[in-house]
Amino acid sequence: MIKPVQLPSPWRDARVTVVVPTYNEAGNLPALVERLLALPLPGLRILVADDNSPDGTGEVADKLAIEHPDRIEVVHRAGKEGLGRAYVDGMTRAIEGGAEYVAQMDADLSHPPEALPGMLGALLSTQASVVIGSRYVPGGELDENWPLYRRALSGWANLYVHTLLRVRIRDLTAGFKIWQAEALRDIDLERVQSNGYSFQVEMHYLATKLGHTILEVPIRFEERRDGVSKMTTATKVESALMPFRLRSKHRNITR
């Protein structure tokens, strides 16, 4: 586990909301929340967007919110509507709640929470619109236990999208990021329609089209601790078709 960067004031006091979509993550959420709240970021808040998880994740989140009433908010969604819809809902609520910066990460502990202060520092020092915790820039790593087929699928997906969309980002499907709230307002979350993992690519594509600065910093990506991956055949099909849809849908978008 890496040691969190100690940021100077007023950077450490920034209003950061971490949006965490959940579906059947009851075994991982308490550990993630503990690590996030231990960070040297007193302005950090957590927003859990739960898609009515049948394993009781929503109830676990509610108990955590009772224990930390000023730092955790829970959004209970009607059902399993997908990763993209959960992020749009959570990010919109975070901005409406006054967040200056909005982070996004998975609930399965594959993204190291301890990297967040450094990512915030990189965002503030460079005035980037978004900082990506990247697996594929120098210094980035993949857990040795990550299955070979997942490595191949991730590498192929990045190459495929690079070829079609010409977006200069190494880790196009990355889900660990911190955004300036103003950049999210400019992107306009209501026009983001992708679901599943293609949501990440659409956000990167829109940010690029609108001229936003995107910075990648290396992280170590861990294999999930508990539960199973949410990657389905339908998700893979959507991701394969998505670049063609994005080129058509957003062809006239400019700053």
Element (H, E) at 141: strand 141-142
Q: What is the pLDDT of residues 204-229, one digit of tens each?
A: 989 998 999 999 999 999 876 665 55
The pLDDT value given to residue 183 = 97
Q: Which has more confidence, 240 or 158?
A: 158
The pLDDT value given to residue 131 = 98
Strand partners, 46: 18, 72
The pLDDT value given to residue 132 = 98
Q: Cis check for the bond before 69: say yes or no (omega within 30 of 0).
A: no
- Measured CA to CA, the distance from residue 28 to residue 113 in angstroms comes to 13
Q: What is the pLDDT of residues 103-146, one digit of tens each?
A: 999 999 999 999 999 999 999 999 999 999 999 999 998 877 76
Buried b (16+ CB within 10 A) or exposed e, 41-79: bebbbbbbbbbebeeebbebbbebbeeeeebbbbbebee
- Measured CA to CA, the distance from residue 185 to residue 178 in angstroms comes to 14
- Considering the entire predicted model, what is its pTM? 0.88
- Measured CA to CA, the distance from residue 56 to residue 41 in angstroms comes to 29
46 has a pLDDT exceeding 60:
yes
Q: What is the pLDDT of residues 150-199, one digit of tens each?
A: 666 666 676 777 667 777 898 988 899 999 999 999 999 988 888 777 88
CA 133 to chain CA centroid, nearest Å: 9
